[in-house]
Amino acid sequence: MAHRVRKAIFPVGGMGTRFLPATKAMPKEMLPVVDRPLIQYAVDEARAAGIEQFIFVTGRGKSAIEDHFDHSIELENLLEARNKVDALADLRETLLPPGNIAYVRQQEPLGLGHAVWCARNLVGDEPFAVLLADDLIQADTPCLKQMADVFAEKGGNVIAAMEVPDEHTSRYGIIDAGGASGDVRPVKGLVEKPQAGSAPSNLAVIGRYILMPEVFEELGRQEKGAGGEIQLTDAMARLIDRQPFHGVAFQGTRFDCGDKLGFLEANIAFAMEHEDLGPGARDMIDRLAGDAS
Ligand code: UTP
């Protein structure tokens, strides 16, 4: 039987300090790229990969995310009364099926590993996906779907991987793939934010994971890693010799929307591809580039 993943965790408990003051009263995950919040892209990607249950690990000040995925009766009534059919359809598409969405609070932002561990009782004893909304991926086949296809065949742990320049390896979790090439590579080792010059490769882990539930036991040790945070990478590394573990060099472009320039680039790239806005956006970019030169 093919392996299947039904549940996804969306860790949204971070502080978003790099976007202050924009994120003082609004979660980073609600920042819009063109016309939809970052978290909506992540949820849509999960839906496209067959995910049925959506678990958000939230923190203080994140209630806008709960409101976003809920009915807004007044707004829907108003749009219906004004016959704004398209806007109403867009709004209804954001909804998730009742009972298939859950929220759990990460009381302290102790790191990504800790956020994932906070969802352990809701996930239970089955494989699950993790999506970080600030990694936005533009792809013909959604990134998590590409990974779910690999998971269906191979099982075990599957993480998204991307080549990065030498000078950037110290910003990421880095994969030791034992020199293998190709789209699907065995993971032989993982190291979080290696010091300059000590990275085992240029293959970085980005914010998409399909993990086996045993990772919760490892996270339960609550050991602090790089930056004094409980790191998901460290817990995953302990599964490598016990379970199948693969990195998928996915097809697509990833934008780091946790960073201002990355966020700006994502807005430009998505606007250029947008059905209605694309031509206008391209003209605008040509005009601004012309003015600047
Ligand atoms: P980041 O490292 O980008 O941290 O987290 P951050 O707090 O969100 O943002 P900055 O650096 O202060 O601007 C990567 C992902 O892990 C989640 C974040 O929400 C983001 O999706 N995260 C991080 C948690 O859910 N909890 C944590 O304790 C830390």
Task: Tell me the pLDDT tens digit for each residue of 245-276.
Answer: 999 999 999 999 999 999 999 999 999 999 99
Residue closest via CA to ligand 1's atom 18 equals 14
Structure confidence at residue 1 as a pLDDT band (50, 70, 90): low
Give per-residue pLDDT as tens, 109-166: 899 999 999 999 999 999 999 999 999 999 999 999 999 999 999 999 999 999 999 9
Distance of CA 32 to the CA centre of its chain: 15
Tokens coding 221: 């040790």
User: Is the minimum distance from the CB of 110 to ligand 1 under 6 angstroms?
Assistant: yes
Please tell me the pTM assigned to this model. 0.95
Instruction: Report the pLDDT value the prediction gives residue 51, as an integer from 0 to 100.
Output: 97
Task: Please report, for the chain, the start and end positions of each structural domain, with discontinuous segments joined by +.
Answer: 7-258
Q: How far is the CA of 37 from the centre of ligand 1 (A)?
A: 16
| Average model confidence (pLDDT) across the chain | 93
User: Is the minimum distance from the CB of 15 to ligand 1 under 6 angstroms?
Assistant: yes
**CATH (residue range 7-258):** 3.90.550.10
User: Is the minimum distance from the CB of 57 to ligand 1 under 6 angstroms?
Assistant: yes
DSSP 210-246: EE-TTHHHHHTT----GGGS--HHHHHHTTTTTS-EE
Q: How far is the CA of 112 from the centre of ligand 1 (A)?
A: 7
* Helix pair 85-93, 73-81: axis angle to 10 deg: 160
User: Is the minimum distance from the CB of 14 to ligand 1 under 6 angstroms?
Assistant: yes
Instruction: Report the pLDDT value the prediction gives residue 101, as an integer from 0 to 100.
Output: 95
